[in-house]
Structure 1
Amino acid sequence: MKIETFYPKNSILKEHIEYYYFLKTYSRDFKTAYYSFPNTLQSFNIHKNASYEIKHHSTHVYGVPEKKYLMIAQGKYESPLQVLLEGKLDKVTINFKPLGLNHFIRKPLAAITPEHSQSFHEWDQHADTSAFLNAFFGTNDNESRVDLLEEYLLKQYQPLGNEALLQKAIHSLMDFTTELPVQEIAAQLSVSIRSFNRLFFNNMGITPVSFRKIARFRHSLTNRLFNEQFKNLTDIGYESNFYDQAYFVKMYKKITGSNPGKFFKSVDKLADDHLIFQFLKE
């Protein structure tokens, strides 16, 4: 399995996309399984010659020569997602920032990604989609693929209504130094709590409370894996504003399936350390 990571070149896309990664396998006998964990980013996958099977908290993607292209959009999930990759695969994953995908679709995100994973057909009606896919997978040079992908994405781009308000909300929900109550965030934005919850869910596919839980998990994960000064689990929990150690452990068990200490020892970092996976042993 080969993974290469690239970053947006276009200034507009930099605002909405964190990074791309290309994954390729070369054997029909290839098989790997891993757990992916809740994230504030949103993954969008484009495959060549692949099909899929989606079950409860499980996504299986496998190479099928007669199938041409497959797009899968991930929604928000709050517990581990098991992913099984099998056979010869060739895919690009776009990891959008929290509001990013909204700029490239015409329906509310919540309507398009109601499940943890689903096939994506919003671009099927665009006349240039087929030409883009043929050109994209017609070259093996990933630099060229990035150029083709960005050219295509810019054709789909449109501004998002209420973006400034939503970005302020996301910033507040990810701020663990002050951690304002959701009701106070809504008040600061001059909207009712009901309107705020509805607007946030429509554009994020998740409630503000659940988004904050995922953001808190990712904040603590970053502190543990990438900041040398945070090695003690108590300090990690404190810095991410977990209420106490018992709550820290409880939330990790729910989000990762294991306690923090065991989880941190079991994960691997890939794609310039952006991907945090827990590979499953056969």
Structure 2
Amino acid sequence: MSNGELDFGDPAAERKRRLAPPVVQPPAVPLAAAPLAARKAVGAAAGIAVHVAGLDWQAIADELNVHGYAILPGMLTADECAAMAAQYAQPQLFRSRVVMAQHGFGRGEYQYFRYPLPSTIAALRQALYGPLAAIANRWHELMELPARFPAEHNEFLARCHAAGQQRPTPLLLEYTAGDYNCLHQDLYGEHVFPLQAAVLLSQPGKDFEGGEFVLTEQRPRMQSRVEVVPLKRGDMVIFAVHQRPVQGTRGVYRVNLRHGVSRLRAGARHTLGIIFHDAT
């Protein structure tokens, strides 16, 4: 209204507004629930950080306490898995290559990445370390082990490097038909972070047959216990490197764990391994 008169606006402008298509805002995408969309929007490293922060870490801790491992489904997308596996053919990314049969480790081979790590691997290592450090500290407290782990991964790496453990340990493993990985522990030096992770980059039943991830647990005065861990492409398994605490009738005791891969019957299998301590 102006000077006591009613303002009906510009009829032509009003017709344009009625004819114009409505503006539809795209729905918000929850980052933790849709990692692919999130990583396209904010980049792989930031998307991984948000994805990891949104995980149910209490449930993960409970699984680790009961079984010694926990599965995190869909940590990497199919595209990310394919891109990661393709890096195996890029020797400039790696500091060394190990043929397992030459060392009695099994059959197959793997390569250790060099620094600087590829961005996705660096992001996973950084994002996972913080919540895992809280679990690791609780385990060491229960097992009455003296080492405690800082909240930030760079602080822990500084501790490793000061002790001469300066070589990066994330690795890619490659298996073909007939290959396997003997049961082992990834220790590498004085400073050992008690948890590590692996991501299956190939699709079981399509890319390969066999090749199951296996954990064994040796308890005092008891037979060893075996777990065959079911993984799909993109799934991550977090598991104990060496020891974990178990509640017994007389208190907490330590059990020793080893991990490996059963014989591949057909196809090819790639795996990303993430170890949080560096090597001598």
Using the size of structure 2 for normalisation, the TM-score is: 0.25
Higher RCO (Cα < 8 Å, 6 or more apart): 2
Q: Identify the structure with the greater strand proportion.
A: 2
Bigger radius of gyration among the two: 2
Q: Identify the structure with the greater helix proportion.
A: 1
